[in-house]
Structure 1
Amino acid sequence: MSKDAVWVLFLVTSFQCLLLSAETHPAILLPNHYNRNTPVTCPAPNPNLYYQPVIGIVTHPGDGATGRLSNTTGASYIAASYVKFVEAAGARVVPLIYNEPTEKLFKKLELVNGVLFTGGWAKSGLYFETIGRIFKKALEKNDAGDHFPIYAICLGFELITMIVSKDNNILEEFCASNQASTLQFVENANIKGTLFQRFPPDLLKKLSTDCLVMQNHRYGISPGKLQGNHKLSSFFEILTTCEDEDDMVYVSTMRSRNYPVSAFQWHPEKNAFEWASSEIPHTKDAIQITQYAANFLVSEARKSINRPVAQEVRDNLIYNYSPTYCGKAGKGYDEVYIFAPV
């Protein structure tokens, strides 16, 4: 075959390939290419939603680093991961300093559209009393017509369990420190109206097969004990359970039957924002869980009817404080906000 014939054959073959490609892979049209005559519209925001929501995060006693950063009596802290968690979903944060005067604390509570109770260790004294006061105030706000959500994580889960049951000894010991786990949905779990409702089906399924959430606690409550306590069973509905290292089953996610209260024994904030432990899941699926959990909290806060004075909010935002990097030690939190005694 001559060189000219080879060249002609090459051109014909290439043209056929182009035609085949065009048939199997049609041109990708951007949205504005479908109908250039369609006018651009900017729908008005929903007047029933608040698009500048603020979440109050209650500080915890200490410095979050067993005294390495501050051993001042009365100091308190918020792990920066909780702040980033809220901000990632489009809200701002006002720190609620647990040991400031009640009048001042409640005044700050009027600046927020929801509250987050963090993890930690304190289960008694002023901190426990402060959580109780804020929890009661939040329920009163809901009873008065304001949709005021509460997120209770780890220690927060344990404290509201104690508060609702009115039994400070109701918690049981479990071995679930520094442990990644699955979440097992209880039979006939109703996820409508919960954070899980928005999960894609494949991610929802992976929750029960892959270790995508982080546990770090020594206390909790078993399903049987919760269901056997009338105050708890009438207030909370169990959504998921987990097994600890000794195969003991504990409640890992629950929600209030009548209030926008969600409680997690696991840590939705850690997957995306904490790095000290090698057990914390950082996969794409794990990061999505953090995002969906944060989105749910903030979407609930947008339903709040509270419209605080903008300048008062700015005067009290977490932006008025600076985080401290404490991750060099390779353990504990990566960053914390420390608040001096008031």
Structure 2
Amino acid sequence: MRSSTAASGYKNTEPIIGILTQPCTECPGRSYIGASYVKWVEAAGGRVAPIRFYASDAELHRLFKSVNGLVFAGGLTWLWLDSPYVIAARKLFNWAVQANEAGNPFPIHGTCLGHQLLHILAANVSRNDLLVETDAVTQPSTLIFTAAANTSRTLKDLPSDLVAKLQDDKLNIAMQNHEYGIPPHHYQRWPLLGEWFNVLTTSKDRKGLEYISTVEAKKYPFTGTQWHPEKPTSEFGMIEVPHTLDAVRVGQHFANRFVDTARYSSHKPSSPEQELAVLIYSTPPVFSARFETMAEDNYDGPYVTYYFDQKTKPPVGPEDDEHEGGGGTPDLASRATASRSRMAASRRAAAAHQTVLA
């Protein structure tokens, strides 16, 4: 890298963060990345390289050695243990563990679906067992801090006013947007999770169900948020996203901590030409909000999106329920109806809550 790093102890000051693409469902590409994750990394001084989940093992490893950190983004992909997406994520996760064990820091951050993915990879537990349904779609919420938060790498220097505001149910500056979550008692059911992670915060859905909302790995620079630190700065497709200065400050804090850790990674592309080739900037972002309708059962459509490659076969995505309920054949119409009902109920609850606050 071009910048001087001697005084800081950094291995580089222009880190590249890999973001694992997700299967595309009804969109002009084989896979995608929501631009909000790219902007989140860039706001903290990083650059982004897309990592296609269907890349060959050789290509995955080459890209891993070219980037300084990894983001598992939020989305609507099913996290089956045998899905190509999870298989690719597991390879990257294992290589990251090996790099950290060898003394070469390599951070991973997982948001929402990515937070759940980190737990699945750590414990090798089926998502049907690990996750429970939550009523937390389009729900600005609070964080409930645990004792572990006081000494965590991620939260110990979070400004005290933001700690207070994140717990204030009149402000609700942590954006939740998920149908599933991990309840705290699952750390007792699968003790390996407690060996892997410290729980820094929990949250509650609209019905009072408590779930784990922020974690930090004990041995490695891995973090997970069930909520979305990237949405306040650059997602405008749903009115529930908080866009206050405080919500932006919280998201920026998490981005700064994550990207700064990546500056200590010594990974780099094999040449200046390869460095330019891996970056996302050869792919134009698309203002997807202009042509993608936010369907009730597709509640996380990005405002701006990067699409990659042409479809080669029907995608494996949220509509692929072949594993649901232990592998039986689902009633897709009933599932879609249920999903729409949950979405509509969530929006009604959010609107009622906003009316009360007003």
TM-score range, shorter chain: 0.7 to 0.9
Match of 1:112 in 2: 67
**273-282 or 331-340: bigger deviation:** 331-340
Q: How far apart, in 2, do the equivalents of 1:167 and 1:47 lie?
A: 38
Match of 1:95 in 2: 50
User: Residues 330, 294 of structure 1: CA spacing in aligned structure 2 closer, same or farther, 3 A cutoff?
Assistant: farther
User: Residues 100, 268 of structure 1: CA spacing in aligned structure 2 closer, same or farther, 3 A cutoff?
Assistant: same
Match of 2:107 in 1: 149
- How far off is 1:43 after superposition? 11
Match of 2:266 in 1: 305
User: Residues 258, 44 of structure 1: CA spacing in aligned structure 2 closer, same or farther, 3 A cutoff?
Assistant: closer
Q: How far apart, in 1, do the equivalents of 2:133 and 2:251 lie?
A: 26
The CA RMSD over aligned residues, in Å, is 1.8
User: Residues 200, 254 of structure 1: CA spacing in aligned structure 2 closer, same or farther, 3 A cutoff?
Assistant: same
Which runs of structure 2 are paired with 1:15-94 in the superposition (5 Å)? Answer: 45-62=7-24, 66-67=25-26, 69-70=27-28, 75-94=30-49
User: Residues 43, 236 of structure 1: CA spacing in aligned structure 2 closer, same or farther, 3 A cutoff?
Assistant: closer
Which runs of structure 2 are paired with 1:2-13 in the superposition (5 Å)? Answer: none
- How far off is 1:211 after superposition? 0.4
Indicate if the aligned counterparts of 1:236 and 1:257 stay in contact, CA closer than 8 A.
yes
1:338 to 307, 319, 324: 307
Q: How far apart, in 1, do the equivalents of 2:142 and 2:260 lie?
A: 25
Q: How far apart, in 1, do the equivalents of 2:149 and 2:137 lie?
A: 28
Match of 1:319 in 2: 281
**53-62 or 203-212: bigger deviation:** 203-212
2:151 to 186, 192, 208: 192
TM-score of the two chains, using structure 1 as the length reference: 0.82
Q: How far apart, in 2, do the equivalents of 1:190 and 1:215 lie?
A: 19
Q: How far apart, in 2, do the equivalents of 1:302 and 1:43 lie?
A: 9
TM-score of the two chains, using structure 2 as the length reference: 0.78
Q: How far apart, in 2, do the equivalents of 1:280 and 1:121 lie?
A: 18
- How far off is 1:285 after superposition? 0.4
Match of 1:30 in 2: none
Indicate if the aligned counterparts of 1:162 and 1:171 stay in contact, CA closer than 8 A.
no
Number of positions where the alignment pairs a residue of Structure 1 with one of Structure 2? 293
Q: How far apart, in 1, do the equivalents of 2:231 and 2:244 lie?
A: 12
Match of 2:92 in 1: 134
Q: How far apart, in 1, do the equivalents of 2:23 and 2:276 lie?
A: 24
Rg larger for: 1
Structure 1 unaligned spans of 5+: 1-41
3-state DSSP of counterpart to 2:200: strand
Indicate if the aligned counterparts of 1:276 and 1:330 stay in contact, CA closer than 8 A.
no
- How far off is 1:193 after superposition? 4.4
Identical aligned residues as a percent? 36
Which runs of structure 2 are paired with 1:211-226 in the superposition (5 Å)? Answer: 211-226=172-187
Indicate if the aligned counterparts of 1:153 and 1:263 stay in contact, CA closer than 8 A.
yes
Check if 1:277 corresponds to 2:246: no
Cα deviation digits, residues 282-325 of structure 1 (max 9, x gap): 01101111111111111110111224333311111001110111
Q: How far apart, in 2, do the equivalents of 1:280 and 1:141 lie?
A: 36
Q: How far apart, in 2, do the equivalents of 1:87 and 1:239 lie?
A: 25
Cα deviation digits, residues 251-310 of structure 1 (max 9, x gap): 000010101000110011001110011110001101111111111111110111224333
Indicate if the aligned counterparts of 2:109 and 2:223 stay in contact, CA closer than 8 A.
yes
1:251 to 212, 217, 228: 212
3-state DSSP of counterpart to 1:81: helix
Indicate if the aligned counterparts of 1:55 and 1:86 stay in contact, CA closer than 8 A.
yes
User: Residues 250, 193 of structure 1: CA spacing in aligned structure 2 closer, same or farther, 3 A cutoff?
Assistant: closer
- How far off is 1:173 after superposition? 1.4
